[in-house]
Amino acid sequence: MTKVVFYSLVAVGLFTIGFYTLLVEAHLLRKIMALNIMFTSLFLLLIAIAARYPQAIDPLPHAFVLIGILIAVSATALALTLARRIYQETGQTDLSEKQETGIS
């Protein structure tokens, strides 16, 4: 059980780091990386939970992780595309609004 607790705590720590970075950093690339760290921490947590019984591994969380990876990859791809388009349109790498206010 200690192993499971250890990995779960590591996962929660990673999640917190990701959350903190997501809030603090303005650069879009760093925000996207922060989200990915959060996703990865969740996968770690699920894998740890899968091993919570000493006699056998629970396969269902592994399936969750596989699907989670798919989701993380596609969400990251969309986020990166958007970040690139924002850079092309505004020359900015963050979300601060410097132009185009008023008429929407």
> Which residues contact another protein (rule: CB under 8 A)?
15, 19, 22, 28, 31, 35, 38-39, 42, 45-46, 49, 52, 58, 60-61, 64, 67-68, 71, 74-75, 78-79, 82-83, 85-86, 89-90, 95, 97, 99-100, 103-104
**99 burial type by CB count under 10 A (0-12 exposed, 13-18 middle, 19+ buried):** exposed
CB of 6 to another protein, least distance (A): 14
CB of 76 to another protein, least distance (A): 9
54, 60 contact by CB (below 8 A)? no
Helix (H) or strand (E) holding 15: helix 2-24
CB of 3 to another protein, least distance (A): 14
Quick one: 24 or 58, whose CB is closer to another protein?
A: 58
Q: What angle do CA 16, 35, 39 make, to 5 degrees?
A: 80
